[in-house]
Amino acid sequence: MAGRFSQQNQRVRPSSKEDQVVLKAREHFERTLIPVRGQLAGSVAALEHPRHDEALNYGEIFLRDNVPVMVYLLTQKRFDIVKQFLSICLDLQSTTYQTRGVFPTSFVEEKGQLIADYGQRSIGRITSVDASLWWPVLCWMYVKSSGDEEFGSSQAVQRGVQLLLDLVLHPTFEGTPVLFVPDCAFMIDRPMDVWGAPLEVEVLLYGSLRCCAQIMELGRKHHGSRLLDQRLILTRQWVHDLRQFLLKHYWVTSKTMQVLRRRPTEQYGDNQHQNEFNVQPQVIPDWLQDWLENRGGYLIGNIRTGRPDFRFYSLGNSLGCLFGLLTAPQQRALFRLTLHNRDHLMAEMPMRICHPPMESLEWQNKTGSDPKNWPWSYHNGGHWPSLLWFFGSSILLHERRHPHADVLLMGQMKALLEECYWSHLNQLPRQQWAEYFDGPTGTWVGQQSRTYQTWTIVGFLLLHQFLRVNPDDVLLLDLDEGAVPDPDSIDSPVRHND
Ligand code: GLC
């Protein structure tokens, strides 16, 4: 199968340098892998990092940067590295009172000592919430693709999942199913006014809880307990409520905007549910009209009392597709929106992290004049090639799940993806696999960009894998696919109330 696909491709683009680029990228990738406790355990964030500046940590293994690394290793059936990575993260899960259950942002071995950063060394000293949420997702993908149920049901993994769940499933001052976080708590780790319930964290929470449930189901199969049953019920309820919440408050289309603009404001009391967050119509930005056109839709960046964040975040929206948070028609509305706005979102270097950027006074006030996040740069409207594989996989997975739906649109999406892939293929080697790109079209290498950035390299390799080598590998990302069957359903909470 693999051979057939690559031959087909060679017929289409006989004169390309594709094979050489892929070969080189693979070589670079091998050099990113480093050992911990004598065994390969993951990739450094970037290959060329200034070795003498100890405060810079691109030579460490970042959990989030290793997401595409681990997925790629799974496609290569290099399960031992993935298991070592997962085990080390588990060993490093925090046990101190205030952060119990949190996974580190990054770690590295120095002189035989494992050193982990839980945020105490980062800009702003913020904990990366996304790192903790990614762990169960990667763990579940590993278990289902390697078949290593023994690892999944082991005491260590089951305990790790419970510790993580303690951070989410506990009483709070809030009655909503979202996780509240400070600014800078995920990939966007410099000030960008993304505090509260930012899309990426909430969608990741959704995927993470779904994977926790799958892992707990495995544990139940091997050594069930009433506590586990109760946790499963609670987790599934949470997943359900979170999805309802996100679809209700974050999903917008041209149609929903027309309703939102004409809602009453200043509502309180039990029966007034049209405008719970008291959003005034004046806060709806003008650019949204063309952005949504007739049939587009997307998940907005955040909902907060009176101040929704209408910016478009590529990763949160892609994950909304991959994790099955969005319905199939909603996913296609998102694809239409991307196609319609491709000059913004893809341009010369797919794909932009967040749109539109904040400029002048808004940039000053909301980023605290952050010098790296200036308009059209870095997190503030910069282009990150490492994001394309997430969006590309959403298209490919959608096509696998719904092969007959809107064939015309999906054909256009596949063509768009091909073009984006070719932009990477042609530009990234020349630009030394840069971390990010600047400017309205993303043509310029990021002003402070690292080179030979691992997730840029491996993101490209992953797309190559899905498009050319083995299209079936995209199913790895399907959280439902290969799920361990549920022999005696635990749907009835009544059974456990005795
Ligand atoms: C930057 C990015 C962050 C990434 C890290 C290592 O801090 O903002 O998302 O994990 O670099 O590549």
**Interval 126-144: pLDDT, tens:** 999 999 999 999 999 999 9
DSSP 471: G
Q: Given this model, what pLDDT does residue 482 score?
A: 58
Q: Given this model, what pLDDT does residue 125 score?
A: 87
Whether residue 13 lies inside any domain: the answer is no
Whether residue 492 lies inside any domain: the answer is no
Whether residue 484 has pLDDT greater than 60? no
453 C-alpha to ligand 1 centroid (Å): 10
The string over 421-438, giving b where at least 16 C-beta atoms fall within 10 Å of a residue's C-beta and e elsewhere, is: bebbbebbbebbbbbbbb
CA angle 362, 368, 370 (to 5 degrees): 100
Q: Ligand 1: which of 189, 194, 450 to mutate, most ligand atoms within 8 Å of CB? A: 189
Q: Given this model, what pLDDT does residue 51 score?
A: 53
Residue 356: asked if its preceding bond is cis (omega within 30°), the reply is yes
CA angle 345, 348, 351 (to 5 degrees): 35
How far is the C-alpha of 194 from the C-alpha of 249, rounded, in Å? Answer: 16
Q: Which ligand 1 atom lies nearest to the CA of residue 62?
A: 10
Q: Which ligand 1 atom lies nearest to the CA of residue 58?
A: 6
% of the chain at pLDDT higher than 70: 92
- 7-21, 80-94, 238-252, 332-346, range with the lowest pLDDT: 7-21
Whether residue 52 has pLDDT greater than 80? no
pLDDT in tens, 293-308: 999 999 999 999 999 9
How far is the C-alpha of 134 from the C-alpha of 390, rounded, in Å? Answer: 14
pLDDT in tens, 168-223: 999 888 889 999 999 999 999 999 999 999 999 999 999 999 999 999 999 999 88
CA angle 268, 269, 275 (to 5 degrees): 45
Whether residue 400 lies inside any domain: the answer is yes
Please name the residue that has the structure tokens 């892609």.
Answer: 318
Please name the residue that has the structure tokens 């109330």.
Answer: 497
Whether residue 14 lies inside any domain: the answer is no
Whether residue 18 lies inside any domain: the answer is no
DSSP reduced 3-state for 144: helix
Give the closest residue (by CA) to ligand 1 atom 12.
45
Q: What is the pTM of this model?
A: 0.93
The residue-averaged pLDDT of 392-416 equals: 97
Q: Is 355 in the pocket of ligand 1 (CB under 6 A)?
A: no
Whether residue 373 has pLDDT greater than 60? yes
How far is the C-alpha of 3 from the C-alpha of 5, rounded, in Å? Answer: 5
Q: Is 450 in the pocket of ligand 1 (CB under 6 A)?
A: no
How far is the C-alpha of 222 from the C-alpha of 219, rounded, in Å? Answer: 5
Q: Given this model, what pLDDT does residue 366 score?
A: 97
Give the closest residue (by CA) to ligand 1 atom 3.
187
How far is the C-alpha of 158 from the C-alpha of 143, rounded, in Å? Answer: 13
Mean pLDDT of the chain: 91
Confidence class of residue 274 from pLDDT cuts 50, 70 and 90? Answer: confident
Q: Are 392 and 417 in contact (CB under 8 A)?
A: yes
Whether residue 495 has pLDDT greater than 60? no
The residue-averaged pLDDT of 8-33 equals: 79
Range of the domain at 316: 2-8+29-262+281-484
Q: Is 45 in the pocket of ligand 1 (CB under 6 A)?
A: yes
Q: Ligand 1: which of 62, 128, 353 to mutate, most ligand atoms within 8 Å of CB? A: 62
Q: Is 189 in the pocket of ligand 1 (CB under 6 A)?
A: yes
- Which secondary-structure segment (H or E) carries 259? helix 254-261
Beta bridge partners of residue 62, listed in sequence order: 106
How far is the C-alpha of 434 from the C-alpha of 378, rounded, in Å? Answer: 12
Whether residue 466 lies inside any domain: the answer is yes
Whether residue 493 has pLDDT greater than 50? no
Confidence class of residue 309 from pLDDT cuts 50, 70 and 90? Answer: very high
- Which secondary-structure segment (H or E) carries 35? strand 33-36
If one counts the domains in the chain, the total is 1
Whether residue 292 lies inside any domain: the answer is yes
Whether residue 24 lies inside any domain: the answer is no
- What's the CATH code of the domain at 75? 1.50.10.10
Q: Given this model, what pLDDT does residue 120 score?
A: 85
